[in-house]
A and B are shown apart, each in its own frame.
Chain A
Amino acid sequence: MEALYHVAPYIGYVYPNETVIPWTVLIVVYPYLTGLVAGAFTVSSLYQVFGMQRFKPVAHLALLTSLCCMLIVPVPLLLHLGHPERAFNAMITPHTSSAFAIFGFAAAFYAILLMLENWFVFRPYIVEQAQRRKGSLGLLYRALSLGSHDLSETAMRYDRKWIFALAVIGIPAAHGLHGYVGFVFGSLKSREWWSSDLMPPIFLFSAIISGTALLIVLYLVSCTLRRKSVDLPCLKGMAYTLWGFMMFTLVLEGVEFASLIYRGREGIDMIMEYVRGPLALPFFALQLGIGSVLPIVLLTFMLWRGTTGNALIGGVATCGLLVLLAVLLMRWNVVIGGQEIAKTGKGLLSYRLHFLGKEGGLVAACVLAAPMVLLFVMTRLFPPWNDEATAA
């Protein structure tokens, strides 16, 4: 039977109640997924709103990925709650001064927006399938078509207007949503590690790079599985996007970290001990070194040298995977790191990740994999590939 709680070992002095770490790996996964939503949506917007034609091959895949991640976002939160059946209390009687209370509404609004945009984007395919297919799948497509089978040029022009409008509204919605997640942490004055005005933009920019990196990986995997050649301008465009936003992310994180150290408020000794000790490997070596500096150097080199062909594909794929890892580590280092530095400012705790249990590593891995499984099914139902889907 799973233990009711796990006691975290500590050094120095920590408040007795702090020895049980409140937010576990599931709360690491939650902002990570939210970030992927915002990042994937950004890539989709580059085509839908900003008209960047080079992103056309991944535009619909990005939208579908964003939706699949969004549908799973509530799962880690619900798993973490002591009373998930009461989750709607936050929406029925939202406590409006709570940074978290409004999240339910913002997330619901954005999820609806994503569903709507996906529906408009895939409507031509849905209608075509509804008219062609029989059986249960035919029934599904007919239901999804909502009785609207009009694919005339007038109707399509109308759809395009909606897609554009939804995509425009979606940009502040997606980015606001994730900046908001950063605010959930940054607004807490009880933890020096979190309490920073820069937390929302750091979360936002890291979200954009994680979503772009995911799209890079998904696009390359899909091309391999579908035996299609990679659209190199598209890939290069995503590499540029990744490179640019990584610069913002790194600068913001650097400034935030420097401010924390430079201000040197109460508890800084413990923070320094933490940074030099337990944080050295996950933060400096993995997140910063291998996950951030290495991809930036690699991308810079490839973009500077005009690398193309398989070398570009391999290089960008490596960078994508490294950035995905780095952002996951960033979430870990923020969420877990903040709780490992005791509120007393005089002690450090060690969070132990357990494999099994409701909030264990296995569940977290399943939650992380769930959007990808969902996406696999969704791409079967709504092919987002540029060569097959009806262009929106």
Chain B
Amino acid sequence: MSDDDEQAKHQGERRNFLRIFGAAVGCSGMAIAAGAGLGEAAAADAPAPKPDIPGYDWTRHRWAFGVDATKCIGCLRCVEACKIENNVPSDAHHFRTWVERYVTLEGEEKARIDSQADPVNIEASGSEGAYRFANRYKDAKVEKAFFVPKLCNHCTHPACVQVCPTGATYKTLDGVVVIDHKYCIGCQYCVQACPYGARYFNEEKGVTDKCTWCYHRITKGLQPACVEVCPVSARIFGDLNDKQSPVSQFIRNNRVSVLRPESGNAPNVFYVGLDKEVI
């Protein structure tokens, strides 16, 4: 075959290639778009599973959580209570709730932030199973300091629920995001999706875990463990359907904010006393 012939043949091949490649790419784009649309529609129609809790009607409640960061003293009793109440691994790397400390020193522009995973705090606690904030700023000139309790935000549009491939994590009708540990496959996609770092993987059980606002307690009329033990009432919990509940009053009487509103997740933990650097 001459060079000209070969070149002509290859040009023909290329034209053919581009024609079919274009069509193929178009087809795949449409297929993906259609798949995503179907998914959305089906998710909206999915029936909610009903809890088997005697005397509890989940259609009558709309739970919410409040945090008054101005009151928190960083005692970490909430963290300890949560670990015990919910069998959370007693180490410094798995938390359903934790407390962050923000300290701005004189002459510094940015706050120094630490929490329970900080090696200095672990050392001050004596072990990973105990939780204390080290008195690391006792000799420094502190300009501003405050604590911020953190927990799952039980978002109205939870990214974790959206990405779960099996539906093992879901939002209950009373507004709590829970995980079915018997159905979770342990892929950790939800851990990745949560912008708040509220989820952790329980390596021993092979499943993801997170705060449930102590669902086993609140459905029996009790308060979540962290709320119960807080000595300064920095944590407030209640039913938004009840206008006189502590959380309804907290939201009504304060100018509250939420963490990362730009995420579109619409969190249901409402804060008072956040600062610009709180993430």
* A-to-B contact residues, CB < 8 Å: 4-5, 7, 13-20, 22-23, 46, 49-54, 77, 80-84, 86-87, 89-90, 93-104, 168, 171-173, 175-176, 179-180, 183-184, 188-191, 339, 343-346
Contact = CB atoms under 8 A, between A and B. Distances in A.
Contacts of A17: 93-95, 191, 197-200
Interface centre among B92, B100, B167, B202 (most CB of A within 10 A): B167
A82 B186 contact: yes
20 contacts: A13-B114, A15-B115, A16-B98, A17-B197, A17-B198, A22-B191, A23-B192, A81-B187, A93-B167, A95-B43, A96-B42, A101-B165, A102-B39, A104-B165, A172-B27, A175-B28, A176-B31, A183-B32, A188-B163, A191-B192
A95 B166 contact: yes
Contact of A97 (B17, B43, B207): B43
B113 A82 contact: no
Interface residues of B, number: 69
Given A89-B168, A180-B32, 7 more contacts: A16-B94, A51-B16, A82-B207, A83-B185, A89-B185, A176-B32, A343-B195
B92 A16 contact: yes
A20 B93 contact: yes
Given A46-B17, A86-B183, A168-B24, A16 B165 contact: no
Contacts of A46: 17
Contacts of A175: 24-25, 28
A344 B279 contact: yes
Top 8 nearest A-B pairs by Cβ distance?
A: A82-B186, A15-B197, A82-B206, A172-B28, A96-B39, A16-B117, A95-B167, A13-B113
Nearest to A9: B119
Interface in B142-175: 150, 159, 161-168
Contacts of B194: 190
A97 B208 CA distance: 19
Interface string B84-101: 000000001111001010
Interface in B201-243: 201-208
B167 A19 contact: no
A10 to B, nearest CB: 8
Nearest to B188: A22
B93 A19 contact: yes
Nearest to A347: B113
Contact of B164 (A7, A16, A98, A172): A98
A99 B163 contact: yes
B200 A98 contact: no
A136 B32 CA distance: 44
Contacts of B166: 86, 89-90, 93-95, 101
B121 to A, nearest CB: 10
A385 B51 CA distance: 60
A13 B208 CA distance: 23
Contacts of B208: 82
B115 A13 contact: yes
A189 B195 contact: yes
A11 to B, nearest CB: 11
A188 B192 contact: yes
A81 B195 contact: no
A93 B164 CA distance: 11
B56 interface: no
A83 B184 CA distance: 8
A367 B165 CA distance: 24
Contact of A23 (B162, B165, B188): B188
A100 B189 contact: yes
Contact of B159 (A52, A87, A189): A189
Contacts of B40: 96-97
Contacts of B191: 17, 22
B39 A97 contact: yes
B264 interface: yes
A98 B28 contact: no
A209 to B, nearest CB: 15
Contacts of A50: 13, 16-17, 20-21
Given A16-B98, A17-B95, A98 B197 contact: no
A168 B159 CA distance: 36
Contacts of B205: 82
B164 A95 contact: yes
A7 B122 CA distance: 13
Contacts of A7: 93
B193 interface: yes
B53 interface: no
Nearest to A77: B187
A234 B25 CA distance: 25
Contacts of B70: none
A176 B28 contact: yes
B67 to A, nearest CB: 16
A189 B263 contact: yes
Contacts of A19: 92-93, 117
Contacts of A52: 13, 17
A101 B163 CA distance: 8
Given A17-B199, A189-B159, A172 B24 contact: yes
B153 to A, nearest CB: 12
